[in-house]
Amino acid sequence: MADRLKNLGEIVSDKNLVMYAINGLDERFKGIARIIRHKEPLPKFEMARNMLLLEESQLNGTSSSNTTFDSSSSSPTVLVATHNSPHKESSPTPQTNNHEHPSPSHSANEPQLANPPSPVHSSPQPAPSTANPPRTHSMVTRSQLGIVKPIDRLSLHTSSISPLPKSPFLALQYPFWSNAMYDEYNALVKNGTWILVPWPTGVNLVRSMWLFKHKFHADGTLSRYKARLVANGSRQQLGVDFDETFSPVVKPATIRTVLSLAVSRNWPVHQLDVKNAFLNGDLSETVYMHQPPGFVDSRYPHHVCLLQRSLYGLKQAPRAWFQRFAGYATRAGFYHSRCDSSLFIFQQGSEIAYLLIYVDDIILTASSTTLLQQIISSLHREFEMTDLGELNYFLRISAVRHSTGLFLSQKKYALQLLERAHMTNCNPSRTPVDTESKLGPEGVPVQDPTLYRSLAGGLQYLTFTRPDLSYAVQQICLYMHDPREPHFAALKRILRYVHGTLDFGLHLYSSPTSSLVGYTDADWAGCPSTRRSTSGYCVFLGDNLLSWSSKRQHTISRSSAEAEYRGVANVVAETAWLRNLLRELHSPLTSATLVYCDNVSALYLSANPVQHQRTKHIEIDIHFVRDMVTAGQVRVLHVPSCYQYADIFTKGLPSALFEDFRSSLSVRPPPAPTAGVY
């Protein structure tokens, strides 16, 4: 290759140099060559060279977890983890049989990770001579041609934030990431997560991996570098090293209900983060795992980890953690909500507290600051956690308390979606969906279905605070299995609308909590390919929007009345659940829920046994709604179409009407500062 470059007679760009290098490799380097070739942007020659050296070291038998690179050297520098001589250079342990046992003096059940291993760097090398070394190859370099090009050692960085490392051995070269790795490792050791044992013959062994992530504040600034050791749960076998895996998470409507009550009662709301939450779970199954990459015990390099605690990545880890937390909550005086298993309620006399848990994120509100602090202290005694203070940023949702309530928004998350779609500079749209046409299965398949599904899923999560997106997102999600170009065009229109309304969010106001009101609508036979109808509803507690839905019906309706009545049954079921939830939260409703529908036939069906012969096939829905009406829990009323707010969940609307309904759903810009307060 060097002779070929020499004979070109022209300057070779860095990009071409990389391509020449990887095109001249043999079959052994086929995999790494493909990775380098498809990286965007193409790596610099120095980075590509390091990646090739790493691959060569792995092919020659050097452990990837113990190898790092010195950019000033042409060969890899060995990095060995050891307990005994943390400052001495050592060579890698020779490869032996995987089942080889250590010396008899070592107990198989003895924990061997009392102290984290320290990386051992090679001894300092003498400074290179300033004189050019004699040329020993035929490659013509820029320096030999007299071309001077400044080398930017940080050219791969777009900001002061250290990029996500591609592997643990590269992460150990960066102080921020190596510190995060040692923090994680120390927490695992302190928690007694595993013990080292000889590798038993014939057992299922899962891999251990490092994952890296940037943690940000609500304003987008960097909070910390996070390294997490996880187990590769895809290697687990049902009935061997895991059984039950289900673990509940809190429902979005429950979160909004609790926050609405807290704001209306002017209760303090705090958020807490459990450190290494899954490590608190008790593991009942026997699971063996490889030692962590980069932290292999040099005394027993062929031992494996017998897990004593659950670990991130294990299939049963979420369930084990939730059971552990639920057990504590019960002992502390909380009781489970029957409506939502992730809601815990505490009552002692007039003192009340609500606790919501979503994996390791906790939202806590109480009727008094004293009770709130008592519960936080109890949590600190049981688990290692961080009190993040007043609720401000959770689950990628910003929460801003102002004089009249709480403002929930996902602006930062929306910006990330736009960046992922390369649409940060797109032209905004006034509405998220076209009113003239509807999506069908026709069109040319998209070139990147994975990107389509990723963006559609991201938009689906954005509806947590943006109900105005629900119908448009529901439409594009119908074609996740086979996205076409018209579907991608509709998705991009949603993103253009999001770009124009980045600051918008959901307002929760301090309002009376004595009335529950629902609106329901259906677009009869609206799907052009299946002729199924789309149902939509929204439910308010006072002025606060708690729940909404936009969903295509599972069966074909034979009339508009049937389609509308199915929608009535859906919203009545949701309001029944919300009434039970409010009862558990010690805020029972004394009046009937009002359900507004703009179809007169559906209104008559809810209270009268009319049109019986034509409605036999929907009798279950009819009897369910009539029973709720008879019990005095629901009243179904007529509403003019100009006040049917649920229309926004079933069809595309003209911009003026859409913006009016959007405002009625309390989706608005953030409150402007007035007199120094929000």
| One-letter amino acid for residue 293 of the chain | P
pLDDT at 45 (0 to 100)? 79
| Local confidence band at 87 (pLDDT 50, 70, 90 cut-offs) | very low
Residue with tokens 């050891």: 82
Q: How many CA atoms lie within 13 A of 369 on its CB side?
A: 3
Helix (H, G, I), strand (E, B) or coil at 599: coil
Average pLDDT over residues 31-48: 74
Percent of the chain surpassing pLDDT 90: 56
pLDDT at 65 (0 to 100)? 40
Q: Domain residues of the chain, as ranges?
A: 1-61, 511-639
pLDDT at 47 (0 to 100)? 77
Strand order in the sheet with 393-394: 393-394, 397-402, 405-409, 505-509, 667-668
Lowest mean pLDDT among 175-179, 475-479, 536-540: 175-179
pLDDT at 193 (0 to 100)? 92
Average pLDDT over residues 583-589: 95
User: Residue 225: which residues within 8 A CB-CB, separation 6 or more?
Assistant: 162, 176, 177, 179, 180, 212, 214, 215
pLDDT digit string (tens) for 474-508?
999 999 999 999 999 999 999 999 999 999 999 99
User: Residue 130: which residues within 8 A CB-CB, separation 6 or more?
Assistant: none
DSSP 147-183: ------TTTT-SSSSPPPPSSHHHHTTSHHHHHHHHH
| Local confidence band at 333 (pLDDT 50, 70, 90 cut-offs) | very high
For residues 59 and 67, the answer to whether their CB atoms sit within 8 Å is: no
Lowest mean pLDDT among 84-98, 154-168, 408-422: 84-98
Long-range contacts of 324-327 (CB under 8 A, 24+ apart): 324/280, 324/281, 324/282, 325/277, 325/280, 325/357, 325/383
Lowest mean pLDDT among 278-287, 338-347, 540-549: 278-287
Euclidean distance between CA atoms 465 and 450, whole angstroms: 25
Beta strands in 159-310 (DSSP E): 194-198, 205-206, 208-216, 222-231, 269-274, 288-289, 303-307
pLDDT at 276 (0 to 100)? 85
Out of 28-37, 279-288, 552-561, give the one with best mean pLDDT.
279-288
In this predicted structure, the answer to whether residue 112 has a pLDDT above a threshold of 70 is: no
pLDDT digit string (tens) for 307-319?
999 999 999 999 9
**325, two tokens:** 């937390």
For residues 297 and 112, the answer to whether their CB atoms sit within 8 Å is: yes
pLDDT at 261 (0 to 100)? 97
pLDDT at 617 (0 to 100)? 60
pLDDT digit string (tens) for 114-134?
344 433 333 333 333 334 445
Ramachandran quadrant class, 208 (left: phi over 0; alpha: psi -120 to 50; beta: rest): beta
pLDDT at 478 (0 to 100)? 94
For residues 175 and 40, the answer to whether their CB atoms sit within 8 Å is: no
For residues 675 and 496, the answer to whether their CB atoms sit within 8 Å is: no
Euclidean distance between CA atoms 28 and 33, whole angstroms: 10
**How high is the mean pLDDT of the chain?**
82
pTM > 0.85: yes or no: no
pLDDT at 162 (0 to 100)? 76
Lowest mean pLDDT among 203-212, 520-529, 569-578: 520-529
Higher-pLDDT residue of 397 and 220 is 397
Alpha helices in 220-270 (DSSP H): 252-265
Lowest mean pLDDT among 49-58, 305-314, 459-468: 49-58
| Local confidence band at 12 (pLDDT 50, 70, 90 cut-offs) | low
| Topology of the domain comprising 511-639 | Nucleotidyltransferase; domain 5 (3.30.420)
How many angstroms separate the most distant Cα atoms in the chain?
A: 100
pLDDT at 78 (0 to 100)? 33
In this predicted structure, the answer to whether residue 81 has a pLDDT above a threshold of 70 is: no
pLDDT at 608 (0 to 100)? 67
pLDDT at 85 (0 to 100)? 34
pLDDT digit string (tens) for 131-163?
444 544 455 554 554 544 444 333 333 456 778
Percent of the chain surpassing pLDDT 70: 79
Average pLDDT over residues 295-300: 91
